[in-house]
Amino acid sequence: MDVINSLRKILKTRFKREHFLAYIKVFGCQQNEADAEKICGFLKLLGFNFTDNILVADLILFETCAVRHTAEEKILAHIGNLKNIKKSNNNIFIAICGCMVEQENIKNYINEKFPFVDFICGAKSIENFPELFYKKLTGEKLNNFCNVPVLQKNKFNAWVPIISGCNNFCSYCIVPYVRGPEKSKDYNQILDYCKKIIKNGSKIITLLGQNVNSYFYNNFNFSDLLKEIDKIDGEFTIRFMTSHPKDFNKNLVDTLANLKHFSGHLHLPVQSGNNRILKFMNRKYTREEYIEKINYAREKIKNLVITSDIIVGFPGETNLEFEDTVSLIQKIKFASIFNFIYSPRVGTAAFNMQDNISHDEKVRRISKIIKIQEEISQEFLSGFVGTNLKVIIEEDHVNKSIARSKSNIIVELKGSFNVGDIVNTKIISSKRSYLIGKKV
Ligand code: SAH
Ligand code: SF4
Ligand code: F3S
């Protein structure tokens, strides 16, 4: 507590007020959302409240992503825009955290171009954010900070990191470099945490990891973990992401089929439908194995909602190889997919592969997939019209609310509800990427 009090004192002097406001912006994936909630828990202890208005903030923090060049460009532009804010009040504290600033070259670039940034804390050091923040403000080293509670952005929604880092080294991907090696978290600690948050009202438990299927701690695997969480008393849904197809197996499907609380949504990124490209991506499964796994899962779990990620324009991808991805999408009929144009990342294996596809061609390929998937998604969604769906309210706007079904389908509802409410709806129509429902 001494530590907290001394930090508070320093911040009071710096910001010239008793209560402080923080503006937090999260880029990238759910792992970053989870990291931001940890940081927010710490800032709350120091007396911060949170604002969406960057102009009134004492502390501005970006949780950054490095997965594609476009993401980095956008974030760097946002950082550049902070210059004037800092000019208007030099006491404002600017912190840049997360994956992007794990890269030495980017860190140097920020230090050089944006000297008004006060503090940089990369993704691998997020667990030590309190100690590093303390060192920044006091100049002193702190060995171990007290246990900091996570501050959930939405009380009903809980991110539960079960694995940090990644060992897969897909040839295009920077994540293993910026997040470090894969490490499974303590089995009992995860279970205790889940029990606590479910008791406190969390209704959606999302287990997080770059490859949740490879969870392994003291002889307990991912299936064991799911079965134990499933036994906890309460009304909740278990989601997880991401599943890597190479480790997604029949044993896990059999487990999922028997869970009481499984959401029914599976995100299983395939990346490409062509075996040569999959090999060069270092994904360690074939198109045929992927299809077989999906068939088995669909056979065992009815109404399974399957989504995926696709990369087009991987170095050397011919038009015929691209067409294999198209035919896979048409065959599997995912509920939805995230599409990306391949982005070369410094330090990855693919960075040195010959990238000879023109930008226009990459855009043509992604546009083709978007169009095909749009029709598939529409057909998938129209199948819900006339049925009843239980949803949880995520956003409450004037006259309409945005909700999500257990299996991750977005439903727009007329009328006002409370965030976190569970509502029974009847689906009256379907749009391109969501459903329209009414309360029953
Ligand atoms: N661990 C997850 C994905 C993490 S990154 C998995 O293995 O599926 C999320 C998605 O970003 C990936 O699935 C991939 O489709 C995309 N992605 C990663 N690196 C990329 C790159 N260099 N260029 C384009 N898309 C990329
Ligand atoms: Fe990246 Fe592959 Fe790891 Fe996913 S599994 S984070 S795509 S290296
Ligand atoms: Fe981006 Fe880091 Fe996630 S690179 S996608 S925020 S793990």
CA of 431 to the centre of ligand 2 (A): 32
- Mean pLDDT, residues 426-440 taken together: 95
Q: What's the rounded Cα separation, in Å, for the pair 43 and 34?
A: 14
Residue 148 carries which DSSP code?
P
**65 Cβ below 6 A of ligand 3:** yes
pLDDT of residue 1: 62
How does the average pLDDT of the chain come out, rounded?
Answer: 96
User: What domains appear along the chain, each with residue ranges and CATH number?
Assistant: 2-138 (3.40.50.12160), 154-263 (3.30.750.210), 267-382 (3.30.750.200), 388-439 (2.40.50.140)
Under 8 Å between Cβ of 136 and 118: yes
**173 Cβ below 6 A of ligand 1:** yes
pLDDT of residue 27: 98
**178 Cβ below 6 A of ligand 3:** yes
Closest ligand 1 atom to residue 345 Cα is 22
- Counting ligands in written order, the one closest to the CA of 32 is 3
**175 Cβ below 6 A of ligand 3:** yes
Give the residue, by CA position, lying nearest to ligand 1 atom 19.
Answer: 173
CA of 173 to the centre of ligand 1 (A): 6
Phi, psi of 19 (to 5 degrees): -115, 140
pLDDT in tens, 140-162: 998 777 788 999 999 999 999 99
pLDDT in tens, 324-349: 999 999 999 999 999 999 999 999 99
- Mean pLDDT, residues 405-425 taken together: 93
**50 Cβ below 6 A of ligand 1:** no
pLDDT in tens, 116-133: 999 999 999 999 999 999
**156 Cβ below 6 A of ligand 1:** no
- In this predicted structure, the answer to whether residue 136 has a pLDDT above a threshold of 80 is yes
**242 Cβ below 6 A of ligand 3:** no
- Counting ligands in written order, the one closest to the CA of 166 is 2
pTM, to two decimals? 0.96
pLDDT in tens, 195-224: 999 999 999 999 999 999 999 999 999 999
Q: Which two tokens stand for residue 177?
A: 């470099």
CA of 30 to the centre of ligand 3 (A): 8
Give the residue, by CA position, lying nearest to ligand 3 atom 3.
Answer: 29
pLDDT in tens, 254-277: 999 999 999 999 999 999 999 999
**Exposure of 43 by Cβ count < 10 A (0-12 exposed, 13-18 middle, 19+ buried)?**
buried
Cβ neighbours for 299, distance < 8 A, ≥ 6 positions apart: none
Peptide bond into 242 cis (omega under 30): yes
Give the residue, by CA position, lying nearest to ligand 1 atom 3.
Answer: 210
- In this predicted structure, the answer to whether residue 412 has a pLDDT above a threshold of 80 is yes
Under 8 Å between Cβ of 429 and 436: yes
pLDDT in tens, 11-68: 999 999 999 999 999 999 999 999 999 999 999 999 999 999 999 999 999 999 999 9
What are the Cα distances from residue 330, in Å, to 16, 91, 301? Answer: 60, 55, 21
- Mean pLDDT, residues 84-89 taken together: 96
pLDDT in tens, 417-426: 999 999 999 9
- Counting ligands in written order, the one closest to the CA of 350 is 1
Q: What's the rounded Cα separation, in Å, for the pair 341 and 355?
A: 12
- Counting ligands in written order, the one closest to the CA of 366 is 1
**419's torsion region: left (phi>0), alpha (psi -120 to 50) or beta?**
beta
- In this predicted structure, the answer to whether residue 186 has a pLDDT above a threshold of 80 is yes
Position 268, amino acid: L
pLDDT of residue 85: 96
- In this predicted structure, the answer to whether residue 228 has a pLDDT above a threshold of 80 is yes
**412's torsion region: left (phi>0), alpha (psi -120 to 50) or beta?**
beta
**348 Cβ below 6 A of ligand 3:** no
pLDDT of residue 142: 85
**28 Cβ below 6 A of ligand 3:** yes
High-pLDDT (> 90) share of the chain, %: 94
What are the Cα distances from residue 110, in Å, to 129, 328, 343? Answer: 19, 42, 21
Q: Which two tokens stand for residue 438?
A: 């009414």
Beta-carbon count within 10 A of 100 CB: 28
- Counting ligands in written order, the one closest to the CA of 342 is 1
User: Cα 136 from chain centroid?
Assistant: 28
- Mean pLDDT, residues 280-300 taken together: 98
High-pLDDT (> 70) share of the chain, %: 100
